[in-house]
Every structure is written in structure tokens, then in C-alpha cells.
Amino acid sequence: MRDTTVNYAPVDAAGLCAILAGLPDVRTRLGGEPAGWRVREVGDGNLNLVFIVEGPAGGLVVKQALPYVRLVGESWPLPLERSWFEYNALIEQARYAPRLVPKVFHFDRTLAMIVMEYLSPHVIMRKGLIRGIEYPRFAADIAEFLAATLFNTSVFAGTAAAHKRRIELFARNVELCRITEDLVFTDPYREAPLNRWTSPHLDADKRAFEADSALKVAAQARKCQFLTEAQALIHGDLHTGSIMLTPEDTRVIDAEFAFVGPMGFDVGAVIGNLLLAYFAQEGHEEAPHARDAYRAWILDQVVAVWTDFHNRFLTLWRQAKESEAYVKDLFTSPQDRSALDAERIRFLRSLFEDTLAFGGLKMIRRILGLAHVEDLESIANPARRAICERKALRLARTLVVDGAKFSAVADVVEAARRHAAN
């Protein structure tokens, strides 16, 4: 791998303006003179510097990787090279879902820095979910993103050679994958120094999960799948904090965890985080039932995301001209076509179970692991928060261990309602 660290340094506002001033397209986009540009560092994530730069003609965002995990500090180093993977993922996603990712204006591999579209007035979806805002385009947009990116970067579209090139490129994104391997699949189920949970309220729940053989086996089987199933280029961190939107527009950001992995990991991330938002509502409402309508909206989104994703993926597959897997010219008779379509439905059923399991695991790690979500963290009263979290944990466990028992996404939503009501 290229050593890109030699000339790297984190930028400050003045240094950043000097760099941007040297890029003619970017300079035109901002307009005016660099001295008049307004620069704000707004990174609230765990891993990067994020600047908003605004000039008289327009704004843009600059994301620069830091060589360590910001949340933990310099004791947890993290390769700058992840910026290269994010850039490549953005380019690939833009090929198939151009409307749904930020435009990239410039990439500097040495500085691990991406200059891209400033999304305004978009907000991080998670914050909207906490405030109880409905996004009418969200479900269809995210389903389109998922179907378009996952289908088109799989062996159901394109050539084996293209797939192997993707696998090769992203196989080097080792360290970011390792974060997921540890924090999602392993640490929540053992005593790990960085775990946190609402204590003492959930102490017994945490201990029960640590002793839950069936759950641990299921979690580790999914880890194995995450490590070996090279189905498609996945975003790798597609929670509601990686979605920025307005009522009219939806964008997926922060693809540095991208690699060729199991499709269900992305779909599950969306659905798992919607379910976390659902269970968190009880902690945010001013009076019991005050947010019932919004709760129902969230569950409608769970159904809509899966259903719309399923249908779009199926349509893409049925309409695909050529593919490496299920070579089209083998299936020409009516009987062939019907058998092939049954196989597609079987694949999507299997993907549904993957989705539930990965979704459940991502819910659990946000309650018992290192990195939590604002949906729940912002519930100030720990007893109240713990009630929400416990309900979420119980559904999540069922999704991980018993996904095969859900015959459709409507059953998942029904189970969520049941857990919320208890």
C-alpha cells in the first residue's frame, strides 16, 4: 500500500483556504477571494475533521481523515488511507445512485481529504428522527440507494473481472472493517473495556447477553459472513447518522467503511437504526402516546424501506441484460424463467434474514457497546432511557437469533409494537 502519511498534516482554516485557492474549479465554485471565505470545523463524528467553506458564490464541504479515532483519542490510531476507500466508494455509488450521494469535487490522497458538495439545508436524519420529523421521500430514496448500489456492484450485474477488481481494491480497507468486526460482532457480548451501557439499570441485561450462548453463536456466525461473503460493495456504516436529508432530498454520506461484503449489512443498518429511533420515541414524548403518530410513521418506513428495496432489487435483476451469476441465456423457456424467478425470490428471502440479523446486531452494539446513538443518549433520565433500551434489546435479540421465524417485514413491525407495548 502507498505510504501517504509522509506529507500529511491536519489542516486548519488558513491552510485549507490556501489549498482550495489552488484548485481552479473549487475556487470558482466558492467565488470571490480566499480571504473572504468563511471556514467552520463542524465534525461531530468519530474519525474526521469536517469543514464547511463558504464563499460569495457557494459553499462546499471538506472532509479530512485524522490518523486516530477522534472519539477515543490518539491512543487508537487509524489509517488515513480510509479516505481513499471513501473516495472510491463515493465514485462507485455515484455511478449507480448519482442523485443520492454528495458530489465529489476534488480528492487529495496525500492529505486524505475529500472536497465535496455542501448539503444544505440537509440535516443528519438521526437528529430529525429525534425531533419527530417525517421525511416523505426517505424510504423510496434509501431503498433506491440500496437497490442500485448493491445490485450493480454484485455479480448479478457486470463482469466477474469487475467484481474481483472491487474486491481487490477494498480488501485493503482492513482497519475500518476491523472496527466493525470488533465493535459490532464481538465486544458487546463480552467484558470489553470500552463497552458502555445504562448502568445499573441494564447491568442484568448486559450480563444475560454475555451468557447467551445462542446469541453469541449467531453473532459470530454473522461475523464470519461479514468476513467472507463478498456479495457487493457495501457502504458499511449506513445508520441514520450517515444519511442527510430534507423533505425533498436524501443523501448518503461517510462511506469510509466501504468494502465488498454482505448486502444485508447495509439494509440491516438502515432498518436497525429506524427501530432504535422507534424505541427511543418513548423517551422523547412529553406525555404517553404523544408520539404515537410518529412511531407509526417510523414503522411504516421500516416496511417501506424493505418492501421498496425488495421490489427495486428484483426489478433490476429481472431487467438485467447480462450477469455472471444466473447467466441469462441459460433460462429461456417459460419453465426456466419461472425457476429463475423463484430463485431470485429465494435469494431475497435469504437477504431478508441477513438484514434482520445484521440489523439486530447493530441495535445491540449501540446499547451495550462503545458507540451509542443520540436517539437514546439524548434521553436524559437513565431509568426512562433504560426502558427504551431494554425493549430494543429484546427485539434485537429475536432478529438475530430467530430471523427465520419472521415471514415478512410486517411481522417485524408487529413484533416491535408488541415489545414497545410491554
Looking at the Cβ atoms of 161 and 383, the one nearer to a copy of itself is 161
- Residue 366, judged by CB atoms within 10 A of its CB (0-12, 13-18, 19+), counts as buried
Which residue(s) pair with 9 in the sheet?
none
Contact call for residues 362 and 273 (beta carbons, < 8 A): yes
**Binding to a copy of itself, residues 72-111 (CB under 8 A):** none
- Residue 275, judged by CB atoms within 10 A of its CB (0-12, 13-18, 19+), counts as buried
CB of 178 to a copy of itself, least distance (A): 6
CB of 156 to a copy of itself, least distance (A): 8
Residues with Cβ within 8 Å of residue 29, at least 6 apart in sequence: 55, 57, 58, 60, 105
Other beta carbons within 10 Å of 141? 23
b (16+ CB within 10 A) / e for 92-121: bbbebbeebbbeebbbbeebbbbbbbbbee
**Binding to a copy of itself, residues 283-342 (CB under 8 A):** 324-327, 329-331, 333, 335-336, 338-340, 342
CB of 25 to a copy of itself, least distance (A): 32
# of chain residues touching a copy of itself (CB under 8 A): 47
**Binding to a copy of itself, residues 226-245 (CB under 8 A):** 227-231
SS3 state of residue 122: coil
**Phi, psi torsion values for 109, nearest 5 degrees:** -70, -35
CB of 171 to a copy of itself, least distance (A): 4
| Grid cell at residue 171 | 480488501
Does the footprint of a copy of itself cover residue 343 (CB under 8 A)? yes
Q: Which of 99, 131, 164, 318 binds a copy of itself (CB under 8 A)?
A: 164
Q: Which of 21, 52, 104, 155 binds a copy of itself (CB under 8 A)?
A: 155
**Binding to a copy of itself, residues 171-200 (CB under 8 A):** 171-172, 174, 177-178, 181, 186, 189-190
CB of 358 to a copy of itself, least distance (A): 15
Q: How far apart are CA 197 and CA 276, in angstroms?
A: 15
Beta-carbon-side half-sphere exposure of residue 53 (alpha carbons within 13 Å): 34
Does the footprint of a copy of itself cover residue 221 (CB under 8 A)? yes
Does the footprint of a copy of itself cover residue 3 (CB under 8 A)? no
| Grid cell at residue 241 | 447518522
Looking at the Cβ atoms of 282 and 354, the one nearer to a copy of itself is 354
Cis before 67? omega within 30: no
For residue 265, which of 300, 225, 215, 214 has the smallest C-alpha distance?
A: 225
Does the footprint of a copy of itself cover residue 160 (CB under 8 A)? yes
Contact call for residues 299 and 291 (beta carbons, < 8 A): no
Does the footprint of a copy of itself cover residue 57 (CB under 8 A)? no
Beta-carbon-side half-sphere exposure of residue 361 (alpha carbons within 13 Å): 33
Q: Which of 18, 194, 214, 408 binds a copy of itself (CB under 8 A)?
A: 214
Looking at the Cβ atoms of 14 and 217, the one nearer to a copy of itself is 217
Does the footprint of a copy of itself cover residue 204 (CB under 8 A)? no
Looking at the Cβ atoms of 40 and 346, the one nearer to a copy of itself is 346
Looking at the Cβ atoms of 128 and 188, the one nearer to a copy of itself is 188
CB of 119 to a copy of itself, least distance (A): 32
**Residue found by looking up cell 457497546 in the block:** 369
Computed from CA positions of residues 4, 9, 13, 17, in that sequence, does the dihedral angle turn out positive or negative?
Answer: negative
Q: Which of 99, 131, 165, 405 binds a copy of itself (CB under 8 A)?
A: 165
Contact call for residues 358 and 375 (beta carbons, < 8 A): no
* Site residues (vs a copy of itself, CB under 8 A): 154-155, 160-161, 163-165, 167-168, 171-172, 174, 177-178, 181, 186, 189-190, 211, 213-214, 216-217, 220-221, 223-224, 227-231, 324-327, 329-331, 333, 335-336, 338-340, 342-343
